[in-house]
Amino acid sequence: MAFMLGAVLAIALLVVAGMRFFENHLAPATYLSDVRAENLELRKELAKIRLELEVELATRGELERQVATLNEQLKQVGDELAFLKSAGARRPEK
């Protein structure tokens, strides 16, 4: 009976030791693997977002250049219109 109790106690001790070993040595490896996989996915997402930002900034710059050009054209047309109106108002009547 004492031998049986000792054997059960030894098995229980081995099970606890095995669980501790798993927690301390194998579980961190799987956790590390999961963290590395998540890190890789986050890096891919970051690269995608950076590319989208570069496209957005380039588009914005081009639109700002177009607005500046159109504003200059609008100013020229306004000047021409003002000139034509003033020339029409000064036209001698017949």
Q: Band of the pLDDT at 92, cuts 50, 70, 90?
A: low
Distance CA(41)–CA(34), nearest Å, equals 11
Q: Looking up tokens 């200059």, which residue turns up?
A: 72
pLDDT tens digits for range 37-63: 999 999 999 999 999 999 999 999 999
92: left (phi over 0), alpha (psi -120 to 50) or beta: beta
In the structure encoding, which two tokens stand for residue 94, read together? 């017949």
Distance CA(59)–CA(56), nearest Å, equals 5
Please state which of the ranges 6-15, 48-57, 62-71 shows the lowest mean pLDDT: 6-15
User: Is the pTM higher than 0.85?
Assistant: no
User: What is the per-residue pLDDT for 50?
Assistant: 95
